Structure 1
Amino acid sequence: MQAVLNVIGNRAKHPGWWGHDIAGVCQAHAQFSCWDASDPNREKLLTVSDSDMQFREAQGLAACLVNGRLSDLTGGADHYYDWRGQRPYWAQGRFYKCTIGHHAFYRVGLRGDGM
């Protein structure tokens, strides 16, 4: 969860590339699938409440991100994918940063350096 927030934060730090603040990064077309109307996780996103422990954890981590106090576990990654599936086209020849759980993290950016 924290690593995905790191990706969001790393994208938001470079508005010239991403053109969005944190909310805009999350809701950018074809980026974070839970925001897509056809995604099966969309209903979960819309119905989650404070009674869910993971939601409360996510809120706390998000607050740290917004306040600039979230350490970056990804080494500056701005993309990730579930390595159990097919490697996406954008990962070819890009800067691999780390693997956390089932996700491989990359730094793509304009020049591969996240800038």
Structure 2
Amino acid sequence: MTVSDQDRDILARTLWGEARGESLAGQIAVAWTIRNRVNDGKDKSWWGEGYAGVCQAKYQFSCWNKTDPNFAYLSGAKQIPFRELAQARLAGDQVIDGKVLDPIGGATHYYAIAMKTPPAWAAKAKQTLKLGGHVFFKDVP
């Protein structure tokens, strides 16, 4: 699969929007969630196609919702701090380029521990990892 500069940029911005307070390892874990969706054989109309398509698919990553406070940064209306975006780019590039193994055991979903109520889908899914502020899952019904 060919990965464009736009795919890399959208992935980095998504990592910033979803996991900017995480360590490099935490951002790599979130990036692997996205990669697992890109490579999943499920219906592309739900996941999206390619990295940009998956990141920006409706209902997938809330940071891309126009009402989300992160959206102004992700869309380029406001500037993301250089060091924060650089770390997100590093995490995304390492995952896209296959330089790090999947630490989340094939997970396609995660949620932030800070959520007051876990999403309903988490109750029937298999937890694969808890890292930083996120819990990762696979086999989500």
Paired residue for 1:92, among 123, 126, 129?
Answer: 123
Q: Structure 2: which 5+ residue stretches go unaligned?
A: 1-26
Kindly indicate whether the alpha-carbon contact (under 8 Å) linking 1:94 and 1:106 is maintained by their aligned counterparts in 2: yes
Instruction: State the Cα RMSD in Å.
Output: 1.9
One-letter identity of the residue aligned with 1:108: D
Aligned to 1:75: 105
Q: Percent identity?
A: 34
In structure 1, give the amino acid aligned to 2:31: L
**Which portions of structure 1, spanning 4 or more consecutive aligned residues, are displaced by more than 4 angstroms?**
none
Which one has a larger percent helix, Structure 1 or Structure 2?
2
1:2 aligned counterpart, secondary structure: helix
Which letter maps to 2:28?
Q
Alignment of 1:34-73 (within 5 A): 34-45=63-74, 46=76, 47-49=78-80, 52-73=82-103
Task: Name the residue aligned to 1:26.
Answer: 55
Tell me the CA shift for residue 68 of structure 1. Answer: 2.3
Amino acid at match of 1:14: D
User: Size of the alignment, in residue pairs?
Assistant: 109
The answer to whether structure 1 residue 13 and structure 2 residue 39 are counterparts is yes
TM-score normalised by structure 1 residue count: 0.82
Q: What TM-score, normalized by structure 2, do the two folds share? A: 0.69
